[in-house]
Amino acid sequence: MRIELICTGDEVLSGKIVNTNYAHISRRLDEVGLDVVWGTTVGDDRARLLEAFEGASMRADAVIVNGGLGPTVDDLSQEVAAEAAGDTLELNQDWLERMERFFAGRGRVMPANNRKQAMLPTKSELIDNPVGTACGFALDIGKARFFFTPGVPRELKRMLDEEIIPRLAALSGEKSISRLKRFHSFGIGESRADRMLEGVVGLAPDKTVKLGFQAHYPQLETKLAVRGASEEEIRRNLEPVETEVRKRLGGFVLAEDEQTLEGVILSALAREGRSVAVSEIGTNGLVAGRLAGHKAADSIFRRGILANSLGEMFAALGRPAPGNAISEETASGAARGVMEAAGASHGLAVQVEHVPAAPGERPGGLIHIAIATAGTVLPRRAEIVGDDHRVRLGAVELGLDCLRRHLMGLAVEERVDFEKS
């Protein structure tokens, strides 16, 4: 089945916002074995939208249109869809009442212009949006089935998974089912992971497993996609491959599927009845933010202290600073100090110093990390090349990953690809 994507909006066409919706839709369809063969971005222009819809209706079997379902004058998807299909618009009373309840539940009266969102082509099928006011709809235009979706990312994502993909699967007539296994790693780049996993998909008896990578610094996602006629067929092909991937990537794998690094850390601490406190310099508080923001953080994450300098940090800890520049000693002292101050079983210190670029060299950053427990302090030093943002993200991930490695009994000092040699 040939699927086409059309993204609408002047702000998308002009680059004022990054079109993450296109990437998400295309990636999700690929994960379930549906192929996108054409992509178009169109501004809020009636004639150009009509041209795009009519062109897609002749090329594709199914078209997903994203955006243009809002209440304002530049939201044109319903009107142009009706025109392209030779249809007219009518008020969908059920959706109008749904929107009125939506606003009433928030103590507001629905603005008059939101009524526009309930105006749908007469021949269309309404597609539910449980988290917003812009319903989607499906409509035949030419030889293609069009699916219109809202531009708000969280609304799109839910509609795509719950409503659009099942319809596309039914439309394709595909009887097989698909699964996606994901490994989240830190410390290795795409090319190294590719070398480490050479030939791994050949372990699938039916050779039906597809290996892929998606880099989003500082993590790398390794994906195994498989299709089969039954759950048993999928299990038989996927199991030997995922076991080997886990073995070859080893300690670099920090989480799988829907897990997160911070979730893995908090779960490991919870199993042992342990807790953690964090001390940070030069990270914008991102380490504590990752841990404290997780739903499992209650009683496990005890405290986070953020400072701009060693003097401020150690003043907050009520002890003298062991030096004027970050070092193994300052990180170790901060890790032990925050652990003791918070009454936690573990203390994590992450300290970052951004280093300006020397002539002919790139900028970078010096990172000192320490993990304190009642009996020991484990230090870790690293240098990362890149701008302040890249260094900061790398330091935060490295600090959390060092804590994960310690909790899992893995080597904290294992080098990562992003370190300066």
Assess whether pLDDT exceeds 90 at residue 242: yes
Say what the pLDDT of residue 364 is: 93
Residue among 282, 304, 281 at smallest CA distance from 291: 304
Question: Is the bond leading into 218 cis (omega within 30 degrees of zero)?
Answer: yes
Say what the pLDDT of residue 211 is: 94
Assess whether pLDDT exceeds 80 at residue 50: yes
Instruction: Give the global pTM.
Output: 0.79
Percent of the chain predicted with pLDDT > 70: 100
Separation CA 112–CA 116 (nearest Å): 8
Assess whether pLDDT exceeds 80 at residue 332: yes
Assess whether pLDDT exceeds 80 at residue 89: yes
107-121 confidence digits (pLDDT tens): 999 999 999 999 999
279 pairs with which residues across the strands?
305, 349
Say what the pLDDT of residue 361 is: 83
Domains annotated on the chain, with CATH: 3-172 (3.40.980.10), 177-256 (3.30.70.2860), 261-408 (3.90.950.20)
Say what the pLDDT of residue 357 is: 82
Q: How confident is the model at residue 30 (pLDDT cuts 50, 70, 90)?
A: confident
Say what the pLDDT of residue 342 is: 97
Residue among 382, 377, 278, 372 at smallest CA distance from 326: 382
Q: What are phi and psi of 51, to 5 degrees?
A: -60, -40
CB 196 within 8 A of CB 250: no
Q: How confident is the model at residue 234 (pLDDT cuts 50, 70, 90)?
A: very high
Say what the pLDDT of residue 296 is: 85
Say what the pLDDT of residue 71 is: 95
372-381 confidence digits (pLDDT tens): 999 899 999 9
